[in-house]
Chains A and B, each alone.
Chain A
Amino acid sequence: MLLDFGMMGKYMPYLFRSLQVTLQLTAASLLLGILLAIPLSLIKLSRFRAVRAVGTFYTSIFRGVPLLVQIFIVYFGLPQFGLTMDAFQAGCVTFALNSAAYISESLRGGIMAVDAGQREAAMALGISYGKTMKDIIFPQAIKSVMPSLVNEFIGLLKNTTLISTIGLVDVLRAAQMIVSDTFRAFEPLLTAAVFYYVMVMAISFLGKKLEKWVNKSDLR
């Protein structure tokens, strides 16, 4: 027999523990990324060119530098300046900053796509800028941002595998450990692949549901 998945059985608890790490890292990074993306998108929509340039520059950095290089800089480089983080924190910070760059870009597009009349109506009613953004513009912008947000979520989940290079035991790293333990590579790696695949499918399924939900007011 060339393949022997039976030998994976005893490693399953180990793999599920690593799954938690992957999920925690993805969720924490996404949440942080979204929180950062909101002010960043407003910076990119500022009336002042200099302020907008800051936002554009931020995104260009994270777009232009490979993610693995970013992770290495944060994990290996920053301790030189007294900023020491463990692998999880370093991953979380890097992924969040990176996601913020991308999410803020689609959020900016989403905000711009909201009809200018909405802002005007809010202004004419005396509603403040903050409340207009929070209650009038964002809820509408999120509709067009939702698909790219789901994509970002999926991309982020897959990118977390890079964290295995700095020693955090995520699903990929766990699979590699099993490889070196059993000298069989295909079974552990394929199991890891299935783990990722199932998670990605689950996210896109939930994303579709969520999209329907945010669009409920459009139903006639």
Chain B
Amino acid sequence: MICVEHLSKSFGKLEVLRDISLNISDGEIVAIIGPSGSGKSTLLRCINLLEKPTSGHIYVDGVDVVDPKTDIQKIRQKVGMVFQHFNLFPHMTVMQNMTYAPINVKNMAPKQAMDKAIELLERVGLADKAACYPATLSGGQKQRVAIARTLAMDPEVILFDEPTSALDPEMVKEVLTVIKSLAGTGITMALVTHEMGFAREVAHRICFLDEGRLVEDAPPQVFFSTPKSERAKQFLDKVL
């Protein structure tokens, strides 16, 4: 599904990602963890080209997203993204947020898009909020709408960029529950998170990044019980 090859990214002199190679197969859930500034978010943002890699290649369904000839808009329709700060469109109601891209990007009929939006809102438990503006929702509700908005595009992959980091503690769970419910549907997910318990429970694989390098790539049972690198051990000591 996603194949990252020798990816490097620098901002000026600062090397954020160094020679990262990584595969994510269909239906796989990969949690990307690591200390702040290790490049987790940048790695995720390179996959749908919100950041332009300095070198290397990223293939989504066999198509190289780095290639300038690639129609990136087409790729982005397949690769959904959920942001730390939700990024709902504040001047649109929840319903408009959910239907704008399906109608304007996928040319879906408005009626069909709205039916689908209602169905998805029910799935995240917010069907009664369809007519509300985002400003009236709590953080947890906003993020659930943002997840539903991403799902409305029928993506094959969803990239989660610290989806619970901006939430009050009591709202973290409702969002994690929604993400967990997606895990059962066979959708491919890459998840940058600081929720170690959640990563351990839901992810098939853990990728540990440090200073822009992919230090470990292992199943959660292995990674959390017997990390190979000294750096991962230190990190786990601090967060667990």
Do A and B come together as binding partners? Answer: yes
- A/B pair count, beta carbons within 8 Å: 70
The majority secondary structure among interface residues of chain A is: helix
Interface centre among B48, B80, B81, B91 (most CB of A within 10 A): B91
CB neighbours (8 Å) of A155 from chain B are none
Interface centre among A115, A117, A123, A126 (most CB of B within 10 A): A126
Q: How far is the CB of B95 from chain A (nearest CB, A)?
A: 13
Determine the distance from Cα of A218 to Cα of B88 in the docked complex, in whole angstroms.
Answer: 13
Determine the distance from Cα of A120 to Cα of B146 in the docked complex, in whole angstroms.
Answer: 13
Partner of B87, one of A120, A126, A131, A220: A120
* A121-B89, A123-B48, A126-B105 known, 12 other contacts, Cβ within 8 Å: A115-B87, A117-B87, A118-B87, A120-B81, A120-B87, A124-B50, A125-B105, A125-B149, A125-B150, A128-B105, A217-B133, A218-B133
Contact assessment for B101 and A126 in the assembled complex, using a CB-CB cutoff below 8 Å: yes
Q: How far is the CB of B45 from chain A (nearest CB, A)?
A: 8
CB neighbours (8 Å) of A218 from chain B are 90, 133, 135
Q: How big is chain A's contact interface, by range?
A: 20 to 34
CB neighbours (8 Å) of A65 from chain B are none
Q: Residue on B with the closest CB to A128?
A: B73
CB neighbours (8 Å) of B89 from chain A are 118, 121, 136, 140
Contact assessment for B50 and A131 in the assembled complex, using a CB-CB cutoff below 8 Å: no
Interface centre among A124, A127, A220 (most CB of B within 10 A): A124
Q: How big is chain B's contact interface, by range?
A: 20 to 34
A→B interface (CB under 8 Å) = 115, 117-118, 120-121, 123-128, 131, 135-136, 139-140, 217-220
CB neighbours (8 Å) of A127 from chain B are 100-101, 104-105
Q: Residue on B with the closest CB to A143?
A: B91
CB neighbours (8 Å) of B50 from chain A are 120, 123-124
CB neighbours (8 Å) of A217 from chain B are 90-92, 133-135
| B129 within 8 Å of A (CB atoms) | no
Q: How far is the CB of A139 from chain B (nearest CB, A)?
A: 5
Interface centre among B50, B77, B85, B89 (most CB of A within 10 A): B89
Q: Residue on A with the closest CB to B77?
A: A126
Determine the distance from Cα of A135 to Cα of B105 in the docked complex, in whole angstroms.
Answer: 13
User: With A118-B89, A136-B89 in contact, is A123–B76 under 8 Å at CB?
Assistant: yes
Determine the distance from Cα of A128 to Cα of B105 in the docked complex, in whole angstroms.
Answer: 8
CB neighbours (8 Å) of B48 from chain A are 123-124
User: With A135-B104, A136-B89, A140-B91 in contact, is A124–B76 under 8 Å at CB?
Assistant: yes
Q: How far is the CB of B140 from chain A (nearest CB, A)?
A: 16
**Could you write out 8 A-B pairs with CB less than 8 Å apart?**
A115-B87, A123-B76, A124-B150, A125-B76, A125-B105, A128-B105, A217-B91, A218-B90
CB neighbours (8 Å) of B77 from chain A are 125-126
CB neighbours (8 Å) of A126 from chain B are 73-74, 76-77, 101, 105, 153
Q: How far is the CB of B169 from chain A (nearest CB, A)?
A: 22
CB neighbours (8 Å) of B100 from chain A are 125, 127, 135
